[in-house]
Amino acid sequence: MASVLVTGCAGFIGSHLVELLLEQGHRVTGLDNFDPFYDRAQKERNLGSCSHHPRFHFHEVDLRRGLDGLVDALPADPVDVVVHLAAKAGVGPSVREPVAYLENNVVGTTHLLEWMRLRGIQKLFFASSSSVYGNTREQPFREDMNLLATCISPYAASKLAGEQLTYTYHHLHGLDVLNARFFTVYGPRQRPDLAIHKFVRLLHAGQPIPVFGNGTSARDYTFVLDTVAGIAQGVAYLLGHTGVYETINLGNNRPVSLLELIQAVGEAVGREPQLSFQPMQPGDVDVTYADIAKAQRLLGYSPRTTLAQGLQAFVHWLTLEEAAAGPR
């Protein structure tokens, strides 16, 4: 089994990944800076099931601060592969705070790559985003599309810049890289700012759901455990191959319109949604739609969770979270 470093380990996707890697027998070192974008307590709960696991070690490190935090936290720990999930996420907030996104997602990634170079760590799984495709008209989105003029938010630009950085280190220093473009991941532990989380809370409170645009915008919703299975397959691929530089889509290959999603969320909660139509938000794309043939061929990636199953799992988790929090 391998030693895997997971950045952003206390987040939504990262915490699920840590659990799976431990189940598979790997040794896992986790880094997180507990960015205040949402409640630190939720992130600490995310790690609750593995925080005392003998093969898991956690360090609070902010990658923006340079190499010192990494050097101090991991002076000689063996690392076979790095899974870089740490990032400031969200399209809308990036429009309002572009500098913070570039500091976290570009400068922080550069510090990590430099630390890997100095330590001689040669394998990286980099979490990119479907946002890099922007409003590309050709669908489904393929990894070989020209993305020269597609980014329409600072978040998307920061993720595409990250991909360019990983290629630079592959070219100059022989780094083996798998870039994975995630497509609208949802499920238990989802960030509270994301649509499904908001919609369920609004339904529980009997409040209307905002519909940005006319409701025909669509997303390739991918259940978190399907995404995490793809990451673990990517780790195995990197460990078994050298001379690698590949970019893949980790999506579900089925866009769901906003109105379809709201109806499905209402069915999962057991309430009929009330709608409040509003203008489209700056930076939002019309459709995301993943071609996953390459991930299937390279990794054996195969998402299995239906939207109804995934929403039921999320509603069950949020109900438990709200019960534990008590009256507000």
CA 49 – CA 17 distance, rounded (Å): 12
Active site residue 38: no
- What six digits make up the tokens of 82? 């790095």
- Among candidate residues 246, 283, 286, 35, the one with its CA nearest the CA of residue 123: 246
Amino acid at 17: L
CA 240 centroid distance within chain? 24
The radius of gyration of the chain from alpha carbons, rounded to an integer in Å, stands at 19
- What six digits make up the tokens of 310? 């995934």
CA 225 – CA 301 distance, rounded (Å): 12
The structure tokens 């980014």 sit at 151
CA 102 – CA 130 distance, rounded (Å): 17
CA 286 – CA 134 distance, rounded (Å): 8
Residue 2 contacts residue 235 (beta carbons within 8 Å): yes
Which of 38, 101, 133, 155 is flagged as catalytic?
Answer: 155
- The residues carrying an active-site annotation are 155
